[in-house]
Amino acid sequence: MPHMTDPDSPEASGLVLPASLDLTQAEPLCQALRERLQDPAIWLDGGAVERISTPCLQLLAAAHASAQARGIPFRLRGASAVLASAIADLGLSTAIPLEV
């Protein structure tokens, strides 16, 4: 998973979600998100997502909940249309809040 640095939050490293988030990507995404939970803030860029699966959305929901439980800010920015509509269709808008 590619990493990048958030210009707004220099101490937090971000995660650019890959174009494909199908089932095969669930394990790497899970690992990457777990590592991010050690950071003071989590931010994800969802602009490149072209393919999405429920297991990956489920991981994002769990990451958000775990971040909230630890008091870590969680931001998912610039979600692609594919990602945004999947979140809405599965009724996960509260579980995975999108930042416009």
Encoded amino acid at 36, one letter: R
- Which tokens sit at 78? 């610039």
The sign of the dihedral angle between the CA atoms of 90, 95, 99, 100 is positive
Residue closer to other proteins, measured from CB, 27 or 50: 27
Q: How far apart are the C-alpha atoms of 95 and 38, rounded to whole Å?
A: 20
**Considering only residues 8, 54, 73, 99, which one is a binding residue for other proteins as defined by CB under 8 A?**
54
- Kindly state whether residue 66 participates in binding other proteins, applying the rule CB under 8 A: yes
Of the two residues 5 and 54, which places its CB atom closer to other proteins in the complex?
A: 54
Q: Which of 12, 16, 41, 61 binds other proteins (CB under 8 A)?
A: 61
